[in-house]
Structure 1
Amino acid sequence: MVSLITGTSKKNISEHVIVDYYKKGKQIYQYSNDYLKLLENEGSNGFEYNPIQTLDIESSYKEGKIYSGFAYIDNENSFTTKEIEKGKTKKIDIDVFAMHYFNRVTIKEVDDVLEITTLDDENSKILIEKVMDTLTCKLVDKKVIAYKVNKVFNFQDLPKNSMIRSSIFQNEPLTIVMRIDKELENQSSCQELFRNISLFNFKDLDDFYTKFELANNEQNNFEKVALLIAYVMTDENSAIKNGIYWEPTNGGQYHEYLKGSELKIESQTLEEFQKSIDIFF
C-alpha cells in the first residue's frame, strides 16, 4: 500500500478494483462495487469479465479496519466478502471459482442460529446452533434430512429410520445422522458442503469463518486419523437393523447386528475395533 497523507490509493484484488481514500495519513473510506455485476453470463462460454467498473459502494474505516461496509479477502481459489455493521460482521460470502464453474457460499446469523446457503441450491440450507454444550449442524430441505452433533449417542436410545455414524477425532466426538428415506444428492453443493463440514466451537461469525477455512484444509487429515465408533442403521422402532458399534463397557467391546439380530459381542479396545469395522465394511 502506498503511504498517503491525503488522497486515494487503488488496489486490485484479482480483477476487483478497490480505492481507499486517505485524509491526514488515515484511511477514511473505501470505494468498491459488487464485482458479480461485472461478470456477464455468456451461456456455454461461462462468465466473461466486463472491464467497465463503477465504484458505487462506500465503506468507512475505524482504526485501520472496515467499520461499516464491506471487507474483502482474496484466497487462491476463492474470494470472500464480509458485510460489516458498526464493527460487527453480519454476513460472509465465499465465492468459489474453477474452470467453467462459479458458486457462492453465504454464512449469516439468523436468530442466534448460523445459516449457510449456496447460490446453486435454492432448496437446501445448513443450520448450526449451540444449546448448552451441544453443537448441532442440520441439513434442511423443507425439513431436517440429516444432522451432525458433537456427542456419541446411547446405543439403547437411537433415532428411528436413520443411518448413524459416530467417530472420535482429537478426543472430540462427532455423530452424523441421516434419514434412511432421504438420500443425499451428490450434485447439490449445499449437501456436499454438509458432508464435509466440521463441528467446532466459535464465538462469532469471524471466528467461525477462520475455523471453517482451517477445517476445510484439514478435512483429509480428519478422515485418516478419526477413530470410528459406530456405523448402524435403525428401523421405525429405533432398534438397530444392521451395523456395528463399540462401547467402553468392561474395558471395551463391540456389537455386530444383521437383520435386527445381534450376531456378535467381542471384547476389544477402540484401537483394535478399527480393524473389525474395516472388515465389516
Structure 2
Amino acid sequence: MMNLLYYKKNNQLIYNALIIILMLCKFNNTSAQEMKFIKKDSSFVIVAEPMNVYEGIYEKGKPYQGYFKEEDQELFTVDYYENGIKKYNYSIDVLQMLQNDEFEGGYKLKLDIKSIYRDGEIYSGAKHHRLKDMVLVEQYQEGKRTGFYYDTFAMHYYNRVSFKIEKDTIHIVSVQNQGYKIKIFQKNNLILSELYRNDSLQIRVQNIDIKASKFPTNSFVQIYEKFKITKGIAYQNYDETGQAYDEARELMQVFNKLEIDKSKDYTDVFDRLLKNIISATEIENEPVYQTMIAEFISDQEGNIKDGICFFNDSKNSYYRIFNNSKVVNEEKVSLDDFQKIFFSYIEKKYSDTD
C-alpha cells in the first residue's frame, strides 16, 4: 500500500514538473516571437535591388535587418539595416518623377537614389527633412555638404529652389524662375551676391571695407554700427524697370534674405540659409541698423555723390551732406546727436521725391 502511494505521488510530481517545463517553453517561444517579427512591404521598388516584396526584421521592437519605410505617406524614404545598424537610405527625386508623370494613383515609388550612412548620419547622398509645405534635401559627398534644395507644394503649384557650391561660388536657381540665377562668392575678402537674368547682371549686393578710400561704384551705400561693430553694404541695381520682381519672385525672396552683412564668408551665408529654412526663421522685423553712420550714392569713381555721412577723425567728429559730388553742409556733431540729423535728412529726402 505504501509503495502504491509513493508511486502515485512520484508520478504527480513528474507530471507537475512537465507542465511547468511546457509552460516555460511556451512563454519563451511567445516572448521570442514578440521580440522578433517580420514586416513586409510592396509599396515601393528599389531600382538597384528590385523585389516583389521587401522584408524588415524587427528585434526588441527596433529595426534590425532588412528594409524599413520611413513613414506611411505618399513621399517616403527607405532605410536598409544590417545587424541593427543603418547602412543605406533609398529615396526618389520628386522633380524627376513629376517630369516623368510617375505620380499616378497606385504607382509604386521607384527609389533610385542610394545614400550611405556612417555613424548614423548620411555620409554620401541625400538627407531628407520634412517641413511645412516642403521637403528639404541636403546633398553630401564623403561627409561634406555640397548643396541642398527644397521642393514646395501647393494646389496646382510646385517649385524647387536649389543651392549648390561649385568652385568657391554658391549657385541658386529656381524651377519657376527659368533664366534667372543667384551667385554668391568672395572677392578681395568681401562677400558679393549677384542676381542674373540670362547671364546679364541685374542686381549686386556686397559688404564693403569701411576703411577703404573708395566705395563700390554707382552704388547705394549704407554704413552703420551694431553691437559696437561698424559695417557697410552696397547695392547696385541695373534692373530699373523692376522686371526681376515680376518674373522671379521666388528667387527675389531668397535674394532679399541673404544676410551677407552678418556673414564671415560665403560658406557662412550658405549655412545661414540652410539653418533659417530648416528652423523656418525669418529675418527679424526689428530695425536692421542700430546706429547709422552714412547713406549715400557713389559715383563712377567710387566717391560720395549724393547723401549724408558722419566722420570721426583724431580731432573732431562731424557730418557732411553731399549734393552732386559737392559738400553743401558740414557741422560738428557727436554720433548720438547725428542720429536725429540723419533721420530728418532721410525723411525730407524721400518726401521730396514723392
Q: TM-score, normalised by structure 1?
A: 0.79
SS of residue in 1 equivalent to 2:342:
helix
Q: Which amino acid aligns with 1:233?
A: I
Provide the C-alpha distance between the structure 2 equivalents of 1:88 and 1:80, rounded to a whole number of angstroms.
17
Task: Identify if the C-alpha distance between structure 1 residues 180 and 131 changes in structure 2 by more than 3 Å, giving closer, same or farther.
Answer: closer
2:298 to 234, 237, 250: 234
Provide the C-alpha distance between the structure 1 equivalents of 2:278 and 2:308, rounded to a whole number of angstroms.
31
Task: Identify if the C-alpha distance between structure 1 residues 50 and 260 changes in structure 2 by more than 3 Å, giving closer, same or farther.
Answer: farther
Provide the C-alpha distance between the structure 1 equivalents of 2:279 and 2:224, rounded to a whole number of angstroms.
16
1:191 to 237, 241, 252: 252
1:20 to 79, 88, 91: 79
CA RMSD of aligned residues (A): 3.6
Contact residue 195 and residue 201 of structure 2 kept, 8 A: yes
Aligned residue number for residue 148 of structure 1: 205
Q: Which amino acid aligns with 1:30?
A: N
Residue 205 of structure 1, CA deviation: 8.9
Q: Which amino acid aligns with 1:227?
A: T
1:177 to 201, 223, 235: 235
Q: Which moved more, 1:64-73 or 1:129-138?
A: 129-138
Residue 64 of structure 1, CA deviation: 0.8
2:340 to 270, 275, 281: 275
Residue 218 of structure 1, CA deviation: 4.9
Provide the C-alpha distance between the structure 2 equivalents of 1:241 and 1:132, rounded to a whole number of angstroms.
24
Q: Which amino acid aligns with 2:309?
A: Y
**Per-residue CA shift, 1:205-249, capped at 9, x if unaligned?**
974544554898351246445433332223445444422222333
1:161 to 218, 221, 244: 218
SS of residue in 1 equivalent to 2:245:
coil
Provide the C-alpha distance between the structure 1 equivalents of 2:62 and 2:124, rounded to a whole number of angstroms.
23
Provide the C-alpha distance between the structure 2 equivalents of 1:8 and 1:190, rounded to a whole number of angstroms.
38
SS of residue in 2 equivalent to 1:4:
strand
Q: Which amino acid aligns with 1:164?
A: V
Provide the C-alpha distance between the structure 2 equivalents of 1:193 and 1:153, rounded to a whole number of angstroms.
26
Aligned residue number for residue 307 of structure 2: 243
**Per-residue CA shift, 1:235-271, capped at 9, x if unaligned?**
4454444222223335543222234432222334444
Aligned residue number for residue 120 of structure 2: 64
* Greater fraction of residues in strand: 1
Contact residue 40 and residue 50 of structure 1 kept, 8 A: no
Aligned residue number for residue 31 of structure 1: 90
SS of residue in 1 equivalent to 2:340:
helix
Contact residue 244 and residue 256 of structure 1 kept, 8 A: yes
Say whether 1:201 aligns with 2:298: no
Task: Identify if the C-alpha distance between structure 1 residues 209 and 224 changes in structure 2 by more than 3 Å, giving closer, same or farther.
Answer: closer
Task: Identify if the C-alpha distance between structure 1 residues 183 and 156 changes in structure 2 by more than 3 Å, giving closer, same or farther.
Answer: farther
Task: Identify if the C-alpha distance between structure 1 residues 72 and 215 changes in structure 2 by more than 3 Å, giving closer, same or farther.
Answer: closer
2:167 to 105, 111, 123: 111
Provide the C-alpha distance between the structure 1 equivalents of 2:134 and 2:225, rounded to a whole number of angstroms.
30
Provide the C-alpha distance between the structure 1 equivalents of 2:324 and 2:259, rounded to a whole number of angstroms.
32
Residue 11 of structure 1, CA deviation: 1.7
2:134 to 62, 71, 78: 78
Residue 71 of structure 1, CA deviation: 0.8
Aligned residue number for residue 322 of structure 2: 257
How many percent identity over aligned positions? 24
Higher RCO (Cα < 8 Å, 6 or more apart): 1
Aligned residue number for residue 87 of structure 1: 143
Q: Which amino acid aligns with 2:342?
A: I
* Greater fraction of residues in helix: 2
Provide the C-alpha distance between the structure 2 equivalents of 1:161 and 1:21, rounded to a whole number of angstroms.
57
Q: Which moved more, 1:20-29 or 1:170-179?
A: 170-179
Q: TM-score, normalised by structure 2?
A: 0.64
Bigger radius of gyration, 1 or 2? 2
**Per-residue CA shift, 1:143-188, capped at 9, x if unaligned?**
4443333334468523333322333444262312214674653232
Aligned residue number for residue 3 of structure 1: 62
Task: Identify if the C-alpha distance between structure 1 residues 17 and 70 changes in structure 2 by more than 3 Å, giving closer, same or farther.
Answer: same
Task: Identify if the C-alpha distance between structure 1 residues 226 and 104 changes in structure 2 by more than 3 Å, giving closer, same or farther.
Answer: farther
**Per-residue CA shift, 1:124-143, capped at 9, x if unaligned?**
32222235643232333424
Contact residue 8 and residue 22 of structure 1 kept, 8 A: yes
**Per-residue CA shift, 1:27-79, capped at 9, x if unaligned?**
1121211123555899xxxxx98663222222221211112221111223432
Q: Which moved more, 1:193-202 or 1:229-238?
A: 229-238
Unaligned runs of 5+ in 2: 1-57, 348-354
